[in-house]
Structure 1
Amino acid sequence: MILSAATIALVPQIKTGPWIFWDDLESSMEKASQLGFDGVELFTESADSLDPDFLQKNLEKHSLKLAAVGTGAGKVIHGLTLTDPNPEIREKAISFISDMISLGAKFGAPAIIGSMQGNVPQGGDREKTLDFLREGLEILGEKAGEVGVFLIYEPLNRYETNLLNTLEAGAKFLDSLKTRHVRLLADLFHMNIEETNLPDSLRKYGKFVGHVHLADSHRGPIGSGHTSFEPIASVLKEIGYSGFVSAEAFPWPDSESAAKMTIDTFLKNF
Protein backbone atom coordinates (compact mmCIF):
# COMPACT_ATOMS: atom_id res chain seq x y z
CA MET A 1 0.00 0.00 0.00
CA ILE A 2 1.34 3.43 -0.98
CA LEU A 3 0.98 6.00 1.78
CA SER A 4 0.84 9.81 1.77
CA ALA A 5 2.74 12.18 4.05
CA ALA A 6 3.01 15.90 4.63
CA THR A 7 6.30 17.51 5.59
CA ILE A 8 6.68 19.65 8.72
CA ALA A 9 9.65 21.98 9.30
CA LEU A 10 10.60 22.39 12.96
CA VAL A 11 13.89 24.28 12.68
CA PRO A 12 13.63 27.82 14.12
CA GLN A 13 16.69 29.04 12.20
CA ILE A 14 15.06 28.27 8.84
CA LYS A 15 12.27 30.51 7.56
CA THR A 16 11.81 29.34 3.96
CA GLY A 17 12.09 26.03 2.16
CA PRO A 18 10.20 23.12 0.58
CA TRP A 19 8.09 22.02 3.53
CA ILE A 20 4.31 22.12 3.64
CA PHE A 21 3.74 22.90 7.32
CA TRP A 22 5.89 24.94 9.67
CA ASP A 23 6.86 25.36 13.33
CA ASP A 24 3.83 24.03 15.22
CA LEU A 25 3.98 20.24 15.35
CA GLU A 26 0.64 19.61 17.03
CA SER A 27 -1.48 21.88 14.84
CA SER A 28 0.35 20.75 11.69
CA MET A 29 -0.37 17.12 12.50
CA GLU A 30 -4.00 17.93 13.17
CA LYS A 31 -4.33 19.64 9.77
CA ALA A 32 -2.56 16.78 7.99
CA SER A 33 -4.88 14.27 9.61
CA GLN A 34 -8.00 16.26 8.79
CA LEU A 35 -7.00 16.43 5.14
CA GLY A 36 -6.51 12.66 4.98
CA PHE A 37 -2.73 12.20 5.02
CA ASP A 38 -1.43 8.89 6.35
CA GLY A 39 1.69 10.32 7.95
CA VAL A 40 4.12 13.18 8.47
CA GLU A 41 7.79 13.64 7.63
CA LEU A 42 9.72 15.83 10.08
CA PHE A 43 12.63 18.20 9.53
CA THR A 44 14.04 18.90 13.00
CA GLU A 45 16.97 20.82 14.46
CA SER A 46 18.43 17.65 15.96
CA ALA A 47 17.34 14.35 17.46
CA ASP A 48 17.33 15.96 20.91
CA SER A 49 15.05 18.82 19.86
CA LEU A 50 11.99 16.58 19.67
CA ASP A 51 10.24 14.92 22.62
CA PRO A 52 9.50 11.33 21.51
CA ASP A 53 6.66 10.98 24.03
CA PHE A 54 4.98 14.14 22.74
CA LEU A 55 5.39 12.92 19.17
CA GLN A 56 3.98 9.49 20.00
CA LYS A 57 1.00 11.03 21.77
CA ASN A 58 0.14 13.18 18.76
CA LEU A 59 0.72 10.45 16.21
CA GLU A 60 -1.78 8.31 18.09
CA LYS A 61 -4.19 11.20 18.64
CA HIS A 62 -4.32 12.04 14.95
CA SER A 63 -3.99 8.46 13.61
CA LEU A 64 -0.78 9.27 11.75
CA LYS A 65 2.50 7.45 11.13
CA LEU A 66 5.97 8.92 11.08
CA ALA A 67 7.10 8.64 7.46
CA ALA A 68 10.72 9.78 7.85
CA VAL A 69 13.03 12.24 9.58
CA GLY A 70 15.29 14.62 7.66
CA THR A 71 18.89 15.27 8.64
CA GLY A 72 19.51 18.47 6.66
CA ALA A 73 19.83 20.65 9.74
CA GLY A 74 23.17 18.98 10.35
CA LYS A 75 24.47 20.74 7.23
CA VAL A 76 22.43 23.93 7.36
CA ILE A 77 23.01 24.73 11.04
CA HIS A 78 26.17 22.86 11.98
CA GLY A 79 28.01 22.65 8.66
CA LEU A 80 28.40 18.87 8.86
CA THR A 81 28.72 16.56 5.84
CA LEU A 82 29.82 12.98 5.29
CA THR A 83 32.39 14.07 2.69
CA ASP A 84 34.14 16.94 4.45
CA PRO A 85 37.95 16.65 4.08
CA ASN A 86 38.23 17.11 7.85
CA PRO A 87 37.86 13.70 9.56
CA GLU A 88 36.56 15.31 12.76
CA ILE A 89 33.69 16.91 10.86
CA ARG A 90 32.90 13.62 9.12
CA GLU A 91 32.84 11.90 12.49
CA LYS A 92 30.43 14.52 13.87
CA ALA A 93 28.25 14.15 10.78
CA ILE A 94 28.05 10.38 11.31
CA SER A 95 27.15 10.94 14.96
CA PHE A 96 24.44 13.48 14.09
CA ILE A 97 22.85 11.17 11.51
CA SER A 98 23.18 8.17 13.82
CA ASP A 99 21.16 10.01 16.46
CA MET A 100 18.49 10.82 13.86
CA ILE A 101 18.39 7.15 12.83
CA SER A 102 17.77 6.21 16.46
CA LEU A 103 14.99 8.80 16.75
CA GLY A 104 13.20 7.63 13.62
CA ALA A 105 13.61 3.97 14.52
CA LYS A 106 11.53 4.48 17.67
CA PHE A 107 8.61 4.95 15.27
CA GLY A 108 9.71 2.57 12.52
CA ALA A 109 10.75 5.49 10.31
CA PRO A 110 13.95 5.98 8.28
CA ALA A 111 16.34 8.92 8.37
CA ILE A 112 17.10 10.74 5.11
CA ILE A 113 20.54 11.89 3.98
CA GLY A 114 20.21 14.73 1.50
CA SER A 115 22.36 17.84 1.89
CA MET A 116 24.54 16.14 4.52
CA GLN A 117 26.12 14.06 1.76
CA GLY A 118 28.17 17.13 0.83
CA ASN A 119 30.18 17.84 -2.33
CA VAL A 120 33.50 17.25 -4.00
CA PRO A 121 35.35 20.46 -3.01
CA GLN A 122 36.77 22.67 -5.73
CA GLY A 123 40.00 21.10 -6.85
CA GLY A 124 39.30 18.05 -4.68
CA ASP A 125 39.71 14.37 -5.46
CA ARG A 126 36.35 12.96 -6.59
CA GLU A 127 37.19 9.32 -5.88
CA LYS A 128 38.48 10.15 -2.42
CA THR A 129 35.31 12.12 -1.71
CA LEU A 130 33.16 9.20 -2.86
CA ASP A 131 35.20 6.96 -0.57
CA PHE A 132 34.27 9.24 2.33
CA LEU A 133 30.60 8.95 1.32
CA ARG A 134 30.92 5.19 1.01
CA GLU A 135 32.49 4.93 4.46
CA GLY A 136 29.72 7.00 6.04
CA LEU A 137 26.92 5.07 4.35
CA GLU A 138 28.45 1.73 5.32
CA ILE A 139 28.57 2.74 8.99
CA LEU A 140 25.15 4.37 9.02
CA GLY A 141 23.50 1.66 6.94
CA GLU A 142 24.59 -0.95 9.46
CA LYS A 143 23.38 1.28 12.28
CA ALA A 144 19.97 1.50 10.60
CA GLY A 145 19.85 -2.26 10.14
CA GLU A 146 20.65 -2.83 13.81
CA VAL A 147 17.62 -0.78 14.87
CA GLY A 148 15.29 -2.26 12.26
CA VAL A 149 14.99 0.47 9.64
CA PHE A 150 16.53 1.50 6.34
CA LEU A 151 18.69 4.55 5.77
CA ILE A 152 17.53 6.71 2.86
CA TYR A 153 20.06 8.32 0.50
CA GLU A 154 18.82 11.10 -1.77
CA PRO A 155 20.39 11.89 -5.15
CA LEU A 156 20.19 15.69 -5.48
CA ASN A 157 20.28 17.78 -8.62
CA ARG A 158 23.54 19.20 -10.01
CA TYR A 159 22.93 22.62 -8.45
CA GLU A 160 22.94 21.13 -4.94
CA THR A 161 25.63 18.46 -5.17
CA ASN A 162 28.27 17.23 -7.60
CA LEU A 163 28.26 13.69 -6.18
CA LEU A 164 25.40 11.49 -7.44
CA ASN A 165 22.56 13.19 -9.31
CA THR A 166 20.39 10.44 -10.80
CA LEU A 167 18.65 7.29 -9.66
CA GLU A 168 21.01 5.32 -11.90
CA ALA A 169 24.12 6.81 -10.27
CA GLY A 170 22.63 6.32 -6.82
CA ALA A 171 21.61 2.72 -7.53
CA LYS A 172 25.04 1.77 -8.84
CA PHE A 173 26.68 3.34 -5.79
CA LEU A 174 24.38 1.58 -3.33
CA ASP A 175 24.93 -1.69 -5.16
CA SER A 176 28.66 -1.32 -4.51
CA LEU A 177 28.19 -1.10 -0.74
CA LYS A 178 28.52 -4.03 1.61
CA THR A 179 25.56 -2.88 3.70
CA ARG A 180 22.12 -3.80 2.38
CA HIS A 181 20.29 -1.30 4.56
CA VAL A 182 20.49 1.83 2.40
CA ARG A 183 17.80 2.73 -0.11
CA LEU A 184 17.25 5.61 -2.50
CA LEU A 185 14.94 8.57 -2.22
CA ALA A 186 13.26 9.41 -5.52
CA ASP A 187 12.60 13.15 -5.33
CA LEU A 188 10.43 14.26 -8.25
CA PHE A 189 11.82 17.81 -8.19
CA HIS A 190 15.44 16.67 -8.50
CA MET A 191 14.45 14.00 -11.00
CA ASN A 192 12.68 16.61 -13.13
CA ILE A 193 16.07 18.31 -13.57
CA GLU A 194 18.30 15.25 -13.96
CA GLU A 195 16.27 12.38 -15.46
CA THR A 196 15.36 12.14 -19.13
CA ASN A 197 12.20 10.18 -18.31
CA LEU A 198 10.89 10.00 -14.74
CA PRO A 199 8.62 6.92 -15.11
CA ASP A 200 11.33 4.97 -16.96
CA SER A 201 13.92 5.73 -14.27
CA LEU A 202 11.52 4.64 -11.54
CA ARG A 203 10.71 1.46 -13.42
CA LYS A 204 14.39 0.62 -13.98
CA TYR A 205 15.70 1.45 -10.50
CA GLY A 206 12.56 1.12 -8.43
CA LYS A 207 13.90 -1.86 -6.47
CA PHE A 208 16.37 0.53 -4.82
CA VAL A 209 13.73 3.14 -3.90
CA GLY A 210 12.61 3.33 -0.28
CA HIS A 211 11.01 6.78 -0.16
CA VAL A 212 9.51 9.29 -2.61
CA HIS A 213 9.38 13.07 -2.37
CA LEU A 214 6.40 14.60 -4.07
CA ALA A 215 6.86 18.01 -5.69
CA ASP A 216 6.04 19.54 -9.04
CA SER A 217 8.48 20.80 -11.67
CA HIS A 218 9.05 24.15 -9.89
CA ARG A 219 9.03 22.54 -6.42
CA GLY A 220 5.54 23.75 -5.75
CA PRO A 221 2.89 21.26 -4.61
CA ILE A 222 2.16 18.50 -7.08
CA GLY A 223 -0.56 19.66 -9.43
CA SER A 224 0.67 23.26 -9.61
CA GLY A 225 3.38 22.81 -12.27
CA HIS A 226 3.91 20.79 -15.44
CA THR A 227 4.98 17.40 -14.05
CA SER A 228 2.56 14.69 -15.15
CA PHE A 229 1.97 12.62 -12.03
CA GLU A 230 -0.38 9.99 -13.45
CA PRO A 231 2.33 7.96 -15.27
CA ILE A 232 4.62 8.25 -12.23
CA ALA A 233 1.89 6.90 -9.96
CA SER A 234 1.20 4.14 -12.47
CA VAL A 235 4.84 2.99 -12.40
CA LEU A 236 5.01 3.10 -8.59
CA LYS A 237 2.04 0.74 -8.51
CA GLU A 238 3.50 -1.38 -11.28
CA ILE A 239 6.80 -1.96 -9.44
CA GLY A 240 5.01 -2.72 -6.18
CA TYR A 241 6.27 0.31 -4.27
CA SER A 242 4.74 0.24 -0.79
CA GLY A 243 6.33 3.17 1.02
CA PHE A 244 5.47 6.81 1.55
CA VAL A 245 5.17 9.57 -1.02
CA SER A 246 5.88 12.66 1.00
CA ALA A 247 5.09 16.22 -0.03
CA GLU A 248 8.42 18.04 0.10
CA ALA A 249 7.28 21.19 -1.66
CA PHE A 250 7.00 24.91 -1.06
CA PRO A 251 3.81 25.89 0.81
CA TRP A 252 2.36 27.70 -2.21
CA PRO A 253 0.18 29.70 -2.12
CA ASP A 254 -0.06 28.77 1.56
CA SER A 255 0.39 25.67 3.69
CA GLU A 256 -3.21 24.45 3.73
CA SER A 257 -3.73 25.05 -0.01
CA ALA A 258 -0.49 23.21 -0.81
CA ALA A 259 -1.49 20.31 1.43
CA LYS A 260 -4.97 20.15 -0.11
CA MET A 261 -3.55 20.22 -3.65
CA THR A 262 -1.14 17.42 -2.74
CA ILE A 263 -3.65 15.09 -1.12
CA ASP A 264 -6.16 15.65 -3.93
CA THR A 265 -3.54 14.62 -6.50
CA PHE A 266 -2.52 11.64 -4.39
CA LEU A 267 -6.05 10.36 -3.86
CA LYS A 268 -6.86 10.79 -7.52
CA ASN A 269 -3.97 8.53 -8.53
CA PHE A 270 -3.76 5.94 -5.73
Structure 2
Amino acid sequence: MNIGISTFVWVSPFSTASFDILRKAKDIGYDVIEIAVEDRELIDWAVLRKTCREMDLSVTVSGAFGMDRDISNELPEIRANGLSYIIDCLEIASELESPLFGGPLYSAVGKTRLVPERQKQQERQWCLDNLYQAVQRAEALGVTLALEPLNRFETDMVNTVDQAIALVDEVGSAQLKILLDTFHSNIEEKNIPASIIKLGSRLAHIQANENDRGTPGTGHLDWVGICDALQTIGYQGSLVIETFGAPSKELARAASIWRPLAASADELAEEGFAFLKKTFTA
Protein backbone atom coordinates (compact mmCIF):
# COMPACT_ATOMS: atom_id res chain seq x y z
CA MET A 1 0.00 0.00 0.00
CA ASN A 2 1.16 3.52 -0.76
CA ILE A 3 1.59 5.84 2.21
CA GLY A 4 0.60 9.48 1.95
CA ILE A 5 0.22 12.66 3.94
CA SER A 6 -2.19 15.58 3.69
CA THR A 7 -1.12 19.17 3.19
CA PHE A 8 -3.34 19.90 6.22
CA VAL A 9 -0.58 18.47 8.42
CA TRP A 10 1.53 21.54 7.72
CA VAL A 11 -0.64 24.38 6.47
CA SER A 12 -4.14 25.71 5.93
CA PRO A 13 -4.94 26.84 3.33
CA PHE A 14 -2.49 25.16 0.97
CA SER A 15 -1.11 27.49 -1.71
CA THR A 16 1.67 27.84 -4.26
CA ALA A 17 3.74 29.44 -1.51
CA SER A 18 3.51 26.14 0.40
CA PHE A 19 5.09 23.93 -2.27
CA ASP A 20 8.08 23.26 0.02
CA ILE A 21 5.76 20.75 1.71
CA LEU A 22 6.06 18.52 -1.35
CA ARG A 23 9.82 18.19 -0.90
CA LYS A 24 9.40 17.52 2.82
CA ALA A 25 6.94 14.73 2.13
CA LYS A 26 9.14 13.17 -0.54
CA ASP A 27 12.30 13.36 1.56
CA ILE A 28 10.57 11.61 4.47
CA GLY A 29 9.59 8.80 2.10
CA TYR A 30 5.92 9.40 1.34
CA ASP A 31 4.53 8.03 -1.93
CA VAL A 32 1.47 10.30 -1.97
CA ILE A 33 0.67 13.93 -1.19
CA GLU A 34 -2.99 14.66 -0.46
CA ILE A 35 -3.92 18.15 -1.66
CA ALA A 36 -6.62 19.79 0.45
CA VAL A 37 -8.49 22.24 -1.79
CA GLU A 38 -9.64 25.10 0.40
CA ASP A 39 -9.22 27.88 -2.19
CA ARG A 40 -8.36 26.77 -5.72
CA GLU A 41 -7.29 30.30 -6.69
CA LEU A 42 -4.31 30.11 -4.31
CA ILE A 43 -2.70 27.23 -6.21
CA ASP A 44 -0.86 27.18 -9.53
CA TRP A 45 -2.17 23.82 -10.67
CA ALA A 46 0.09 23.46 -13.71
CA VAL A 47 3.20 24.03 -11.60
CA LEU A 48 1.89 21.67 -8.92
CA ARG A 49 1.33 18.91 -11.44
CA LYS A 50 4.80 19.42 -12.96
CA THR A 51 6.48 19.49 -9.56
CA CYS A 52 4.80 16.31 -8.35
CA ARG A 53 5.67 14.51 -11.58
CA GLU A 54 9.31 15.55 -11.28
CA MET A 55 9.41 14.28 -7.70
CA ASP A 56 7.59 11.05 -8.59
CA LEU A 57 5.02 11.97 -5.95
CA SER A 58 1.49 10.70 -6.54
CA VAL A 59 -1.49 12.90 -5.70
CA THR A 60 -4.87 12.45 -4.07
CA VAL A 61 -7.33 15.32 -3.60
CA SER A 62 -9.52 16.08 -0.60
CA GLY A 63 -12.17 18.70 0.05
CA ALA A 64 -12.85 21.39 2.63
CA PHE A 65 -16.59 21.64 3.13
CA GLY A 66 -17.45 24.92 4.80
CA MET A 67 -20.99 26.13 5.36
CA ASP A 68 -21.21 27.61 1.87
CA ARG A 69 -20.42 24.23 0.23
CA ASP A 70 -23.32 22.24 1.63
CA ILE A 71 -25.28 20.24 -0.96
CA SER A 72 -27.98 19.43 1.61
CA ASN A 73 -28.58 23.04 2.67
CA GLU A 74 -32.09 24.50 2.63
CA LEU A 75 -30.91 27.38 0.45
CA PRO A 76 -30.71 26.46 -3.25
CA GLU A 77 -27.83 28.86 -3.90
CA ILE A 78 -25.70 27.15 -1.25
CA ARG A 79 -26.55 23.71 -2.63
CA ALA A 80 -25.56 24.91 -6.10
CA ASN A 81 -22.28 26.29 -4.77
CA GLY A 82 -21.54 22.98 -3.06
CA LEU A 83 -22.15 21.02 -6.25
CA SER A 84 -20.01 23.46 -8.24
CA TYR A 85 -17.19 23.00 -5.73
CA ILE A 86 -17.37 19.21 -5.96
CA ILE A 87 -17.30 19.32 -9.76
CA ASP A 88 -14.38 21.79 -9.71
CA CYS A 89 -12.46 19.41 -7.44
CA LEU A 90 -13.22 16.47 -9.72
CA GLU A 91 -11.72 18.45 -12.59
CA ILE A 92 -8.67 19.24 -10.45
CA ALA A 93 -8.31 15.58 -9.48
CA SER A 94 -8.44 14.57 -13.14
CA GLU A 95 -5.81 17.16 -14.07
CA LEU A 96 -3.50 15.98 -11.27
CA GLU A 97 -4.10 12.31 -12.14
CA SER A 98 -5.59 11.70 -8.72
CA PRO A 99 -7.75 8.56 -8.67
CA LEU A 100 -10.26 10.21 -6.36
CA PHE A 101 -11.71 13.26 -4.69
CA GLY A 102 -12.77 12.63 -1.11
CA GLY A 103 -14.44 14.22 1.88
CA PRO A 104 -17.82 14.69 3.55
CA LEU A 105 -19.50 15.41 0.24
CA TYR A 106 -23.00 15.37 1.70
CA SER A 107 -22.93 18.34 4.08
CA ALA A 108 -20.88 21.06 5.77
CA VAL A 109 -18.39 20.16 8.49
CA GLY A 110 -19.68 21.45 11.81
CA LYS A 111 -23.35 21.27 10.81
CA THR A 112 -24.79 19.51 13.85
CA ARG A 113 -28.42 19.83 14.91
CA LEU A 114 -31.27 17.71 16.17
CA VAL A 115 -33.93 18.19 13.49
CA PRO A 116 -37.37 16.64 12.81
CA GLU A 117 -37.38 13.45 10.74
CA ARG A 118 -39.18 15.20 7.89
CA GLN A 119 -36.43 17.83 7.64
CA LYS A 120 -33.74 15.15 7.89
CA GLN A 121 -35.28 13.26 4.97
CA GLN A 122 -35.60 16.44 2.91
CA GLU A 123 -31.93 17.29 3.47
CA ARG A 124 -30.96 13.74 2.52
CA GLN A 125 -32.95 14.05 -0.70
CA TRP A 126 -31.25 17.34 -1.59
CA CYS A 127 -27.96 15.57 -0.97
CA LEU A 128 -28.95 12.69 -3.24
CA ASP A 129 -30.14 15.03 -5.99
CA ASN A 130 -26.72 16.68 -6.07
CA LEU A 131 -24.75 13.47 -5.74
CA TYR A 132 -26.55 12.09 -8.80
CA GLN A 133 -25.28 15.11 -10.75
CA ALA A 134 -21.78 14.91 -9.29
CA VAL A 135 -21.34 11.25 -10.20
CA GLN A 136 -22.20 11.98 -13.80
CA ARG A 137 -19.13 14.19 -14.01
CA ALA A 138 -17.06 11.70 -12.00
CA GLU A 139 -18.02 8.96 -14.45
CA ALA A 140 -17.07 11.12 -17.43
CA LEU A 141 -13.67 11.92 -15.91
CA GLY A 142 -12.97 8.47 -14.52
CA VAL A 143 -12.42 9.91 -11.04
CA THR A 144 -13.90 8.28 -7.93
CA LEU A 145 -15.91 10.33 -5.45
CA ALA A 146 -15.06 9.08 -1.96
CA LEU A 147 -17.70 9.91 0.64
CA GLU A 148 -16.39 10.22 4.20
CA PRO A 149 -18.44 9.56 7.35
CA LEU A 150 -17.61 12.07 10.10
CA ASN A 151 -18.08 11.73 13.83
CA ARG A 152 -21.22 12.99 15.56
CA PHE A 153 -19.50 16.18 16.74
CA GLU A 154 -18.82 17.29 13.15
CA THR A 155 -21.96 16.26 11.27
CA ASP A 156 -25.48 15.01 11.97
CA MET A 157 -25.95 13.35 8.55
CA VAL A 158 -23.46 10.50 7.99
CA ASN A 159 -21.59 9.21 11.05
CA THR A 160 -21.31 5.47 10.48
CA VAL A 161 -20.21 3.07 7.79
CA ASP A 162 -23.78 1.76 7.61
CA GLN A 163 -25.14 5.25 6.89
CA ALA A 164 -22.46 5.82 4.25
CA ILE A 165 -23.21 2.48 2.59
CA ALA A 166 -26.93 3.28 2.46
CA LEU A 167 -26.30 6.63 0.76
CA VAL A 168 -23.70 5.31 -1.68
CA ASP A 169 -25.79 2.27 -2.61
CA GLU A 170 -28.84 4.44 -3.23
CA VAL A 171 -26.90 6.53 -5.76
CA GLY A 172 -25.70 3.30 -7.34
CA SER A 173 -22.64 4.48 -9.26
CA ALA A 174 -19.32 2.65 -9.49
CA GLN A 175 -17.67 6.09 -9.21
CA LEU A 176 -19.12 6.79 -5.76
CA LYS A 177 -17.36 4.91 -2.97
CA ILE A 178 -16.36 5.48 0.65
CA LEU A 179 -13.41 7.09 2.42
CA LEU A 180 -12.78 5.73 5.92
CA ASP A 181 -11.02 8.00 8.42
CA THR A 182 -9.92 5.91 11.40
CA PHE A 183 -10.19 8.91 13.76
CA HIS A 184 -13.91 9.24 13.07
CA SER A 185 -14.39 5.46 13.05
CA ASN A 186 -12.83 5.20 16.50
CA ILE A 187 -15.72 7.30 17.80
CA GLU A 188 -18.58 5.85 15.75
CA GLU A 189 -17.76 2.19 14.98
CA LYS A 190 -17.78 -0.63 17.52
CA ASN A 191 -15.07 -2.49 15.60
CA ILE A 192 -12.98 -0.77 12.92
CA PRO A 193 -11.60 -3.95 11.28
CA ALA A 194 -15.15 -5.34 11.04
CA SER A 195 -16.36 -2.11 9.44
CA ILE A 196 -13.57 -2.38 6.85
CA ILE A 197 -14.66 -5.94 6.03
CA LYS A 198 -18.25 -4.71 5.68
CA LEU A 199 -17.17 -1.99 3.24
CA GLY A 200 -15.29 -4.41 1.02
CA SER A 201 -14.99 -3.11 -2.53
CA ARG A 202 -16.81 0.10 -1.58
CA LEU A 203 -13.68 1.28 0.26
CA ALA A 204 -11.75 3.68 -1.96
CA HIS A 205 -9.45 5.46 0.48
CA ILE A 206 -8.12 5.33 4.04
CA GLN A 207 -7.12 8.31 6.16
CA ALA A 208 -4.95 6.55 8.73
CA ASN A 209 -5.31 8.76 11.79
CA GLU A 210 -4.76 8.02 15.46
CA ASN A 211 -7.64 8.10 17.95
CA ASP A 212 -6.68 11.67 19.02
CA ARG A 213 -5.58 12.78 15.53
CA GLY A 214 -2.00 12.77 16.80
CA THR A 215 0.87 10.66 15.48
CA PRO A 216 -0.25 7.22 14.23
CA GLY A 217 1.00 4.51 16.55
CA THR A 218 0.95 6.61 19.72
CA GLY A 219 -2.66 5.93 20.72
CA HIS A 220 -4.96 2.96 21.21
CA LEU A 221 -6.17 2.06 17.70
CA ASP A 222 -5.96 -1.59 16.63
CA TRP A 223 -3.56 -0.98 13.75
CA VAL A 224 -2.71 -4.68 13.35
CA GLY A 225 -6.42 -5.49 13.05
CA ILE A 226 -6.88 -2.67 10.56
CA CYS A 227 -3.96 -3.96 8.49
CA ASP A 228 -5.34 -7.51 8.53
CA ALA A 229 -8.79 -6.30 7.47
CA LEU A 230 -7.38 -4.29 4.57
CA GLN A 231 -5.45 -7.34 3.41
CA THR A 232 -8.58 -9.46 3.70
CA ILE A 233 -10.56 -7.23 1.32
CA GLY A 234 -7.60 -6.80 -1.04
CA TYR A 235 -7.40 -3.04 -0.52
CA GLN A 236 -5.17 -1.41 -3.15
CA GLY A 237 -5.57 2.26 -2.25
CA SER A 238 -3.47 4.62 -0.17
CA LEU A 239 -3.06 5.21 3.55
CA VAL A 240 -2.95 8.97 4.15
CA ILE A 241 -2.27 10.79 7.40
CA GLU A 242 -4.66 13.73 7.72
CA THR A 243 -4.38 15.91 10.77
CA PHE A 244 -4.18 19.65 11.29
CA GLY A 245 -0.90 21.31 12.23
CA ALA A 246 -1.92 24.91 11.54
CA PRO A 247 -5.68 25.00 10.99
CA SER A 248 -7.50 28.12 9.88
CA LYS A 249 -10.00 29.56 12.37
CA GLU A 250 -12.90 28.06 10.42
CA LEU A 251 -11.27 24.63 10.23
CA ALA A 252 -10.27 24.69 13.92
CA ARG A 253 -13.83 25.49 14.91
CA ALA A 254 -15.39 22.86 12.63
CA ALA A 255 -13.01 20.06 13.68
CA SER A 256 -12.58 21.23 17.31
CA ILE A 257 -8.80 21.54 17.11
CA TRP A 258 -7.83 23.58 20.18
CA ARG A 259 -4.31 22.36 20.97
CA PRO A 260 -1.21 21.06 19.20
CA LEU A 261 -1.54 17.37 18.32
CA ALA A 262 2.22 16.72 18.25
CA ALA A 263 5.43 18.52 19.15
CA SER A 264 5.64 19.69 15.52
CA ALA A 265 4.17 18.91 12.14
CA ASP A 266 7.56 17.65 10.93
CA GLU A 267 7.86 15.27 13.86
CA LEU A 268 4.36 13.93 13.33
CA ALA A 269 5.05 13.43 9.63
CA GLU A 270 8.35 11.62 10.23
CA GLU A 271 7.22 9.39 13.09
CA GLY A 272 3.84 8.70 11.51
CA PHE A 273 5.48 7.59 8.27
CA ALA A 274 7.89 5.29 10.10
CA PHE A 275 5.03 3.64 11.98
CA LEU A 276 2.77 3.15 8.96
CA LYS A 277 5.65 1.87 6.85
CA LYS A 278 6.58 -0.70 9.47
CA THR A 279 2.99 -1.77 10.17
CA PHE A 280 1.53 -1.89 6.68
CA THR A 281 4.40 -2.68 4.32
CA ALA A 282 6.75 -4.85 6.37
* Partner SS for 1:169: helix
> Counterpart of 1:192?
186
Within 2, Cα distance between the matches of 1:120 and 1:217? 21
* Partner SS for 2:183: helix
Question: Does 1:160 pair with 2:154?
Answer: yes
Within 2, Cα distance between the matches of 1:182 and 1:258? 31
Aligned length: 255
> Counterpart of 1:71?
63
> Counterpart of 1:229?
223
> Counterpart of 1:88?
77
Are the equivalent residues in 1 in contact too, given 2:105–2:147 (CA < 8 A)? no
Are the equivalent residues in 1 in contact too, given 2:180–2:205 (CA < 8 A)? yes
- Runs of 4+ with deviation above 3 angstroms: 118-124
Within 2, Cα distance between the matches of 1:204 and 1:32? 32
1:173-207 Cα offsets, whole Å, 9 max, x none, are 21111433111110000000000000011011132
* Partner SS for 1:176: helix
Within 1, Cα distance between the matches of 2:42 and 2:142? 22
Unaligned runs of 5+ in 2: 246-261
Question: Does 1:111 pair with 2:111?
Answer: no
Return the offset for 1:70.
Answer: 2.2
For the aligned residues, what is the CA RMSD? Answer: 1.8
> Counterpart of 2:171?
177
Identity fraction in percent: 24
2:265 to 248, 255, 259: 255
1:40 to 20, 33, 39: 33
Question: Does 1:213 pair with 2:207?
Answer: yes
Within 1, Cα distance between the matches of 2:38 and 2:169? 31
Are the equivalent residues in 2 in contact too, given 1:75–1:116 (CA < 8 A)? no
1:28 to 18, 21, 25: 21
* Code of the aligned partner of 1:28: I
* Code of the aligned partner of 2:129: E
Within 2, Cα distance between the matches of 1:85 and 1:3? 39
Return the offset for 1:99.
Answer: 0.6
* Partner SS for 2:47: helix
Unaligned runs of 5+ in 1: 9-18
Return the offset for 1:115.
Answer: 6.8
With normalisation by structure 2, the TM-score equals: 0.85
1:37-95 Cα offsets, whole Å, 9 max, x none, are 0010011333333212111121022210102x2221x516xx22011101111011101
Are the equivalent residues in 2 in contact too, given 1:4–1:266 (CA < 8 A)? yes
* Partner SS for 2:171: coil
With normalisation by structure 1, the TM-score equals: 0.89
Return the offset for 1:249.
Answer: 2.0
Within 1, Cα distance between the matches of 2:70 and 2:268? 31
* Partner SS for 2:204: strand
